[in-house]
Amino acid sequence: MDSAKGPACKKLSLYGSEFDSRFLIGSAQYPSPAILLDAITASHAGIVTVSLRREAGKDGAGQQFWSLIQQSGARLLPNTAGCKTVKEAVNTAHMARELFDTRWIKLEVIGEDDTLQPDVFGLVEAARILCAEGFQVFPYTTDDLVVADKLLAAGCEVLMPWGSPIGSGRGLNNPFALRALRAHFPDTTLVVDAGIGLPSQTTQAMELGYDAILLNTAVAKAGDPVAMARAFAQAIEAGRLAFLAGAIEARDMAAPSTPVLGSPFWHSEHEQ
């Protein structure tokens, strides 16, 4: 149960680093910087996603954000959000590596604007380039098995399939595909990334055996982001505990939970 890798290990393992929490939280769209920090604290997340922006002037927003996010004490996972080509994603990854002093990169290559669906062809190519250059790539991908296989062949040790489109709050659009992915890659760290709206949806993903959850909007845009961060933390932990505990198989017909052997009356009444 405590092997170094795979869904049953005790701590979350990402490229050799271990984390107590299985919650990765985004840093965008919060009502205020203070609420962002409080939400991170409430989430107990050990990893926070960040990004890059054009810096407008001296002492601009970027420098202020850098000072703020360092206060969280969390490990930073920069992304390549907004990139639509391999070239953009690779060069953004290089900028992120220098800026945040990390080999970690959440690799996004977007192929379609309405759904923000990954361009999986560009994703695999960019992953291959970046892994060869020493990056530790966290690819934001679909739940496609073949693409997952090619990302692993490219050198990725972590896969991050979407639950549903980014920011949609729809939860797990295709639990069957996510279950198949888990079954096909039992020793790969799998993180559901994107589309989560409710804590119960993260419980569902964790019950499927997923290793962790990455989400942003469902906390940041909640009426009370700090309380919602706490709710997600507990839901993720509940799902993990349920997965480790081993769920019963669903069945079509009832099965009495109270033992019937030795019941005093009803057998004899029905036999009359």
Partner 1 sequence: MKIQLNGASHDTEHPDLAALVAALGHEGDKVATAIDGLFVARQNRSQSPLNEGCAVEIVAPMEGG
Q: Kindly state whether residue 30 participates in binding partner 1, applying the rule CB under 8 A.
A: yes
SS3 label, residue 105: strand
Q: Kindly state whether residue 95 participates in binding partner 1, applying the rule CB under 8 A.
A: yes
Q: What is the 3-state secondary structure (H, E, C) of 149-198?
A: HHHHHHCCCEEEECCCCCCCCCCCCCHHHHHHHHHHCCCCEEEEECCCCC
Spell out, one character per residue from 153 to 182, where the chain touches partner 1: x when CB under 8 A holds, - when not. Answer: -------------xx---------------
Is 10 known to be catalytic? no
Q: Kindly state whether residue 137 participates in binding partner 1, applying the rule CB under 8 A.
A: no
Task: Choose the catalytic residue: 5, 11, 106, 150.
Answer: 106
4 CB neighbour count, 10 Å cutoff: 11
Give the residue with the Cβ less far from partner 1, 25 or 182.
Answer: 25
Q: Kindly state whether residue 69 participates in binding partner 1, applying the rule CB under 8 A.
A: yes
Work out how close the CB of 111 gets to partner 1 at its nearest, in angstroms, rounded to a whole number: 18
Of 109, 157, 167, give the one whose Cα is nearest residue 131.
157
Distance (Å, whole) CA 102 – CA 18: 16
Six-digit token string for 98: 């220098």
Give the residue with the Cβ less far from partner 1, 27 or 164.
Answer: 27
Contacts of residue 211, Cβ cutoff 8 Å, sequence gap at least 6 = 7, 12, 22, 189, 190, 191
Work out how close the CB of 49 gets to partner 1 at its nearest, in angstroms, rounded to a whole number: 5
Work out how close the CB of 168 gets to partner 1 at its nearest, in angstroms, rounded to a whole number: 13
Q: Which of 37, 42, 47, 96 binds partner 1 (CB under 8 A)?
A: 96
Of 128, 129, 92, give the one whose Cα is nearest residue 108.
92
Give the residue with the Cβ less far from partner 1, 78 or 199.
Answer: 78
User: What strands lie across the sheet with 23-26, from one edge to the other?
Assistant: 23-26, 212-215, 189-193, 158-161, 136-141, 104-107
- Which of these ranges, 15-23, 25-33, 122-130, 198-206, lies near partner 1 under the rule CB under 8 A? 25-33
Work out how close the CB of 162 gets to partner 1 at its nearest, in angstroms, rounded to a whole number: 12
The residues that touch partner 1, with contacts defined as CB under 8 A, are 26-30, 36, 49-63, 65-66, 69, 78-79, 81, 87-88, 91, 94-96, 98-100, 166-167, 216-217
**Catalytic (active-site) positions:** 106
